[in-house]
Structure 1
Amino acid sequence: MTLHFHFFLVKRIGMAKFVSTYEKPLPHVGLPDWYAKQWELRRSADIRRAEACQLRNSGKSVRSEGNVTTKWDTYINNNRLEGRVTELSRWKDTLEDLLQKILIEIRLLDDEKADTEKEIENIDHPLRIVSECISIRDCRRGTELTYDETDVELKKELCVVTNVKEMFTNRAQAAWEKLNHLENMKFKLSLDIEDKNETIRIDKGNLQLDDTSANISYKPRTSAEKTDCITYEIWLDRCQRSKMLADKELSDSYTFREDMRVMKECARNDIKAQQDATNYSLRKRIYQTQKARNEMEWQKLKVQKEMEMLGKEIIELERALMNKTGVVKCVETRLENRAYRPGSEFCKDEVELGLKNEVLQLKQTKEDLIQIIEHAKAKYNSLEFLLTRISKNLDDKQHSLNTDVMCLDTRSTLKTGDKSDLSNETNRNIVLTHLEKEIPLES
């Protein structure tokens, strides 16, 4: 600030000379005012200093409390983050363990489903064999086309195999649906595990952050402003529900697999038992047919012998009839010659009576021979007709026997599963039914 000084003369009374001085052209303050001003400044300074001291103490207290609060808040939140990471890791490990179990269960159930589908394919073979046996036995002829025990057992086996195939098909479909449920659960668990891994990564990253980190900054929008955030109770309920659903799916799948295994074993046992019953009925029927065939052969042999003997007897009867012709002629000629006796010699003597009785006896004998020849020829014709029936029945029984043996040979693949063992099975059946003399064993 520039001060302007004015020169002026001061005249002092009683002085001999004049003295020049320099003063500001402002009003001067009196001494009382100066003291008052000084007191006011001191008082203001004391007040302001007291206020500044109080403010310093308050700032130091707030700063200390803020530091302590910030430190404890950071410590507590770090512990919370560590606890949250631990809880997430524990749930993640639990879900990963469940996921591994589900993957193992999916593989086991898929193998069980593949085994069931293979069983469905394999069951076509016994089904075809049973149908073929029924068709073969339908080729029996005449009286051999009967509803015997073998027919009943074959139809039972057809029903059993068909029901087992249908049951296997339904189980395979149910296994496919169960696999879809497990795949869906695997997908949900995988997403949940990925979310938890991402959350663990974020919380671990937050644990590594502090006020000296380089990647921190003010954020215009905090998580507290998000409206789609759920509560901890809902989160925990979701985790527990996921675990409960996964455990339930695993338990259901295990029970389903065990039921499938038991069902397949029972089905195999039922089919095997029915096959054994059918094979037994076939062998029994073969034995019965072979026995009846032997009986028919014996009857045929007896009928043939009887026909041969009857034929010889007919020839003898006809020869006897022919022999009686000459005798009749002789007797009648004698009677005719004696009719020419002269005069009184023409009498009924014993010779006359004897010749007449002989003629009557010869006629009666001839009629009896003719009648018995007719009866013999009729009986011979009936025996010939019976022999034809027996031969046809015997042929039908032989055909039925061959049919049942063919069925038994066809069914042998159900037990051996290999065509190379067919001859051995046939030989065994022939021995069991005592057909060695009827069917030669293959070399």
Structure 2
Amino acid sequence: MERLHTKFVHLPLVAFPPPPQRFTLSEWHLNDRYRNRVCLDQQRLADSVVAEADRLIDQVNEVTDTNKRDVDHKIDEKIKDIEFNKTEIDKQRKEVCIELESLNTYIERIKDALNQLQEDALKISRKCLLLRESRVGIDLCCDAIDTELKKELQIVEGARNLLQRTLENATEQVRRLKATIYFMDRDLEDKGNVLKIDKHNLSLQETSFNLSIYHGFAPLDPANITLDEWEQFTRESIERAAREINSARQLRSYVDTLLKQVIEDLWNQYHTVNEAFRKRIEETKEAKMKMEVQHSEIVRQVNEMTRAIGRLSKAISEKEGYMALAHTRLGNRAQRPGVELCKDLVEISLVNEVGELRSNVAMLQHQRAEAEASLRYLLKTQIQLEEDINVKTNTLKIDEVDCMSLRQSMDYHAY
């Protein structure tokens, strides 16, 4: 036994397959019918799937084409809307530019008016007031010219302040118009870029080159502005430009009215001041003429008084002589010319009161003292008149020559 076991251990083992399964003939026929039915079912299913696939393909193609046509139509409408809005904005922008140019012209007019008031009217009014401070004596008074010049100065300063405020308002309006143009330019630029994008999108087809499918994570529709908001933004931009244009036009109309009123007020006051100068100059000339007439009369009276004093002195000296000389003196005095050949106190004294010579000499001396006193007053009056005439001459030079010459250079126009 031990010897046999050792022998089998050293021999290789061989595996034998199990015997095949045996089927009956009915099972064979059953299996054949089952396989045939399965094939038929798969064929019908395949035909159904193919038909459904064709139908789905046609449906998807139709929907895809419809969607593309709808998108193309909407892109085309969007392009037309953008072009229309862009045209409207561009028209409004041109209006804003025209208004801006017109307003800049008005600003130059305001600046010219301010410069005219500052450099001419204001300086001339002040200089006239300063020149009239050079009047002397009684002529240094607050007359109608001073009152009207001060009023003119107030009108000029008031007009200057009003024009300065208007200039500031106009400058601010220019800034707002420029801001409106800036925002409209940005809007036009954005709409121009959108037009390029949408026109490019409209030109693209499914067979175009450089098409790509996006595989990123960020959304391809980041827009968060609604169509109503977009249309409202465009309307507000146009309406804002229209408001600014309307404001600028109203401001220009106000500037026209203001300049017209300012010029009218300045001309009215200019003529009022000139009329005051004219009246004052005539009044001064009349006063000066009266003084000159009075001065001439005073000079004549001074000369006459001097001659009278001389005559009195001569008469007194003559009375110191002998009474015998009285007739000789009467003869000499008979030679007096013209109006001087009058029957005065001396003549009466010589003729009628020879015996009262001493009394007459006293009377002559008294009369000479009065004549000398009167002469002193006449000379004083003459000097005073000459001073007053010089004052009036100085006043006339200031008013008629200096001030009126300055005022002739004053010019107010529509700027």
- Counterpart residue identity of residue 142, structure 2: Y
Partner residue, 2:404: 408
Match of 1:116 among 110, 116, 126: 110
- Counterpart residue identity of residue 381, structure 1: R
- Contact 2:100-2:174 at 8 Å conserved across structures: yes
Task: From the CA coordinates, give the structure whose radius of gyration is larger.
Answer: 1
Partner residue, 1:308: 303
Q: Deviations over 1:278-328 (max 9, x none)?
A: 222222222222121111111111111122222222222222333333469
Greater RCO between the two (CA within 8 Å, min separation 6)? Answer: 2
- Using the alignment, how far apart are the partners of 1:225 and 1:205 within structure 2? 17
- Using the alignment, how far apart are the partners of 1:80 and 1:193 within structure 2? 21
- Counterpart residue identity of residue 112, structure 1: Y
- Counterpart residue identity of residue 244, structure 1: E
- State the 1:222 CA deviation: 8.3
Match of 2:30 among 4, 29, 36: 36
Matched, 1:104 2:98: yes
- State the 1:223 CA deviation: 8.0
- Using the alignment, how far apart are the partners of 2:137 and 2:126 within structure 1? 21
Matched, 1:148 2:143: yes
- What are structure 1's unaligned runs of at least 5 residues? 1-24, 331-357, 418-443
Match of 1:215 among 210, 220, 239: 210
- State the 1:412 CA deviation: 1.6
Return closer, same or farther for 1:415/1:260 CA change in 2, 3 Å cut-off.
Answer: closer
- Between 287-296 and 313-322, report the one with greater CA deviation: 313-322
- What are structure 2's unaligned runs of at least 5 residues? 1-18, 326-352
Return closer, same or farther for 1:411/1:222 CA change in 2, 3 Å cut-off.
Answer: farther
- Using the alignment, how far apart are the partners of 1:43 and 1:249 within structure 2? 86
SS of match in other structure, 2:215: coil
Partner residue, 1:20: none
- Counterpart residue identity of residue 85, structure 2: W
Match of 2:228 among 202, 225, 233: 233
Match of 1:95 among 83, 89, 96: 89
- State the 1:230 CA deviation: 1.5
- Using the alignment, how far apart are the partners of 1:410 and 1:270 within structure 2? 19
Matched, 1:265 2:260: yes
- Using the alignment, how far apart are the partners of 2:219 and 2:162 within structure 1? 58
Correspondences of 1:200-349 after superposition (within 5 Å): 200-221=195-216, 224=219, 229-326=224-321
Aligned length: 366
Q: Deviations over 1:31-80 (max 9, x none)?
A: 32222112101211222222222222322222222111111111111111
- Contact 2:263-2:412 at 8 Å conserved across structures: no
SS of match in other structure, 1:413: coil
Matched, 1:46 2:61: no
Return closer, same or farther for 1:76/1:415 CA change in 2, 3 Å cut-off.
Answer: closer
- Using the alignment, how far apart are the partners of 1:50 and 1:327 within structure 2? 191
- Using the alignment, how far apart are the partners of 1:199 and 1:148 within structure 2? 76
Partner residue, 1:179: 174
- State the 1:113 CA deviation: 1.3
Matched, 1:73 2:73: no
SS of match in other structure, 1:188: helix
- Counterpart residue identity of residue 259, structure 1: Y
- Using the alignment, how far apart are the partners of 2:215 and 2:108 within structure 1? 58
Partner residue, 1:8: none
- Contact 2:288-2:392 at 8 Å conserved across structures: yes
- Using the alignment, how far apart are the partners of 1:411 and 1:223 within structure 2? 79
- Contact 2:267-2:412 at 8 Å conserved across structures: no
- Between 293-302 and 98-107, report the one with greater CA deviation: 98-107
- Using the alignment, how far apart are the partners of 1:359 and 1:305 within structure 2? 32
Return closer, same or farther for 1:279/1:222 CA change in 2, 3 Å cut-off.
Answer: farther
Identity of aligned residues (%): 22
- Between 84-93 and 157-166, report the one with greater CA deviation: 157-166
- State the 1:169 CA deviation: 2.1
- Counterpart residue identity of residue 202, structure 1: I
- Counterpart residue identity of residue 76, structure 1: D
- Using the alignment, how far apart are the partners of 2:68 and 2:172 within structure 1? 51
Partner residue, 1:10: none
- Counterpart residue identity of residue 233, structure 1: D
Q: Deviations over 1:328-350 (max 9, x none)?
A: 999xxxxxxxxxxxxxxxxxxxx
- Between 89-98 and 59-68, report the one with greater CA deviation: 59-68
- State the 1:416 CA deviation: 11
SS of match in other structure, 1:87: helix
Partner residue, 1:6: none
- Counterpart residue identity of residue 86, structure 2: K
Matched, 1:191 2:186: yes
Q: Deviations over 1:185-205 (max 9, x none)?
A: 111111111111111111111
- Using the alignment, how far apart are the partners of 1:203 and 1:121 within structure 2? 55
- Using the alignment, how far apart are the partners of 1:190 and 1:318 within structure 2? 109
- Using the alignment, how far apart are the partners of 2:100 and 2:109 within structure 1? 14
Return closer, same or farther for 1:72/1:227 CA change in 2, 3 Å cut-off.
Answer: closer
CA RMSD of aligned residues (A): 2.5
SS of match in other structure, 1:229: coil
Partner residue, 1:370: 365
Matched, 1:389 2:384: yes
- Using the alignment, how far apart are the partners of 1:283 and 1:378 within structure 2? 41
- Using the alignment, how far apart are the partners of 2:219 and 2:256 within structure 1? 55
Q: Deviations over 1:156-191 (max 9, x none)?
A: 222222222222222222222211111111111111
